[in-house]
Amino acid sequence: MNGIFVVDKPTGVTSYDVVRKLKRVLFGVKIGYLGTLDPLATGVLPILLGEGTKLAPFLETGQKVYEATLHLGVITDTQDREGQILQSVDVGAYDLSPHKIEEVIGRFRGRIMQLPPMYSALKQKGEPLYKLARRGEEVERARREVEIYALQVTEIAPPYLHLHIECSKGTYIRTVAHDIGGELGCGAHLAELRRMRSGPFCLEDALFLDDIEGLLNTGRLQERIIPLSEAMGFLPAVEVGEADALQIRNGQVIALEGLHHRSEEDGQVVRVLASKGGGLVAVGGIQREKEGLVLRPLRVFHDVIFTKRPSCARDTMHNMADQGGR
């Protein structure tokens, strides 16, 4: 079983709890996920199956979209509702007018430097920061650049502030909430978080965790699994015949003499598809060498079953779909 499906992660469980439950249902299938969600968070959790686990490096950098609720006036040690309260104030004493809130959140749009929270999985000398935090230790952390592509107020209902956030990989929404509260003067923590999209995967495609076993038993789960080739649909496609596909799978470079040469193809990353069936053979990079353009595999996949070994005569025709990137 190879591919990807999307789970609507429930609150109160970790991302790995979801994987653990799925392993009991999908016995013998290698399972991974994209983008950790904290236990309080709900929403899009892409699940990678079989050869799909190899796609993580190509998919995890995708843009994330969240709906977040901030609790103004209360600061916690974890920057979310699950932590110990460090400070609580009456928000009525602060300017929380729409004009003031818009002025403050404007400071968080674009590229910003973010200090990772102590309660995080980042490691210091091999030990996760959250373990240090639980012992009452705090260590120096380097600020990291993240990007907020969109940040809009959807509702102001003191002490709650509701936000729509579109951001890059590695953005701590808890820290965004904490820092916005600091700029408003009253402090804040993250009360609720729902991920609406992760890269190409959206909430509309998500399955409830408790429904998956039933779908499997009725034979309907397969129709909800996104094929590897479709999951990588944001990359241009190169179709190859069986002989070339086998060479690529063995890590060999193939010539692209059948392609119309364009200068922008040099350095381009593409998905390599089998001409019969359209299965994903590899993710590769196009390079220009003395002999012309070649395709060098970056990661190969056993998503296609071949019936013969490579013949002496190589395939010479390759079809490149003109598809734009993300």
Q: Is 77 part of the annotated catalytic residue set?
A: no
Cβ atoms of residues 261 and 293 within 8 Å: yes
Cα–Cα distance for residue pair 15/110, rounded to 1 Å: 28
Cα–Cα distance for residue pair 319/311, rounded to 1 Å: 20
Closest CA to 199 of 102, 61, 17, 299: 61
Is 10 in a helix, a strand, or coil?
A: coil
Beta-bridge mates of residue 300: 282
Residue 159 has φ and ψ, to the nearest 5°, of -85, 15
Q: DSSP string spanning 244-279?
A: HHHHHHTT--EE-TTSPP-GGGTT-EEEEEETTT--
Task: Please count the residues of the chain.
Answer: 326
**Residues ≥6 apart with Cβ < 8 Å to 194:** 41, 42, 43, 66, 67, 68
Catalytic residue among 8, 38, 179, 266: 38
Q: Is 306 exposed, middle or buried (0-12, 13-18, 19+ CB in 10 A)?
A: middle
Closest CA to 297 of 318, 264, 269, 276: 269
List residues with catalytic annotation.
Answer: 38
